[in-house]
Amino acid sequence: MCNESAAQAAYRRSRKRRRRAIAATQWGILIVLLAAWEILARTGVLDAFLLSCPSRMLESIAALARSGELALHLATTLWETIIGFVLGAVLGVGVAVLLWWSDTLNRILDPYLVILGALPKIALGPVLIVWIGAGMPAIIVMTLLISVIVTTVTALGGFLSVEREKITLLRSFGASKWQTFTMAVFPGALPTTVSALKLGVSMSWIGVIVGEFLVSRAGLGYLIVYGGQVFRMDLVMGSTAVLCVCAALMYLLVAAMEKRLNRARAHGG
């Protein structure tokens, strides 16, 4: 370890100051917004019945938590999201592998993929309810439908962008098509595949909430719709806030996994 020069130390200090200033401002914005909202609602400038306010949102969530309902709704939504996401990811990557394997199949299915990709999957909601029934399976299928096409198209794009000469080289060593996939194509496209999964997480949340709007007796989406129907805006806003936190945490988790993976590759892991 060599001694750091004074200039390098100063540079590091200024970087650190900058990072701290950014974090402080980020928290500041949140606190100021919440405080202003609370004060304006309490002084009667804003209608707390229509717009709710942070303390009332917190209260309604706390009440739900005390009765044990929050855990049920949260678990339902998380479960649906995770199952839908995993199924969408497995199916999406699986189909991408098939389409990579057979260029003919890829060409045959191309227009169908385009149409399915363009179609707002939400429109299939009523069809799903009739076919599958009003319950969790319909929600999971909706989630899967929304995430699977994006995952397929992105992963396939990654597979196909691996250089042909790398495959030629492996084939010259006698590699089978499957070996060229496992040794060159899949690892080469791994960063693209992981970012496809990141996209899949966001898509899964959309699928789950839409599904819960349409059919459900539990879940955060159900709470939001129910709260709207009985005009309890505290419940609507509170549930939305919980949803916000959950979706952000799940996204951060996948993003952290992606970062770790890329770092492991950069260090020959």
Partner 1 sequence: MMEPNVLLDFDHVSMCYHDESGETEVLRDFSMQVKPGEFVALLGPSGCGKSTVLGLAAGLLRPDEGTVRLRGEPVLRPPERMGYMLQRDHLFPWLTVRENALVGIRVRQRPTAAQRAQVERLLQACGLTGFADALPGQLSGGMRQRAALVRTLAVNPDLLLLDEPFSALDAQTRIQLSDEVKQRLGEGRATILVTHDVSEAISMADRVVVLTRRPARIRSVHDITLAGTPMQRRGDPAFREYFEAIWKELDVHVQ
Among 173, 229, 230, 249, binds partner 1 (CB under 8 A): 173
Among 63, 86, 91, 183, binds partner 1 (CB under 8 A): 183
Burial 109-135 (b: 16+ CB within 10 A, else e): beeebeebeeeebbebbeebbeebeee
Among 13, 187, 217, 248, binds partner 1 (CB under 8 A): 187
CB 203 within 8 A of CB 153: no
Tokens 């693209």 belong to 192
The 10 Å Cβ neighbour count of residue 200 is 27
Identity of the residue numbered 200: G
Q: Could you tell me which stretch among 2-10, 27-35, 92-100, 170-178 binds partner 1 (CB under 8 A)?
A: 170-178
CB of 195 to partner 1, least distance (A): 16
Does 174 help bind partner 1 (rule: CB under 8 A)?
A: yes
Question: Sign of torsion, CA 124 125 126 127?
Answer: positive
Site for partner 1 in 144-163 (CB under 8 A): 163
Among 3, 5, 43, 172, binds partner 1 (CB under 8 A): 172
Nearer to partner 1, 27 or 173 (CB): 173
Q: Which helix (H) or strand (E) holds 194?
A: helix 186-214
Nearer to partner 1, 26 or 176 (CB): 176
Positions touching partner 1 (CB under 8 A) are: 163, 165-166, 168-175, 179, 183-184, 187-188, 190, 265-268
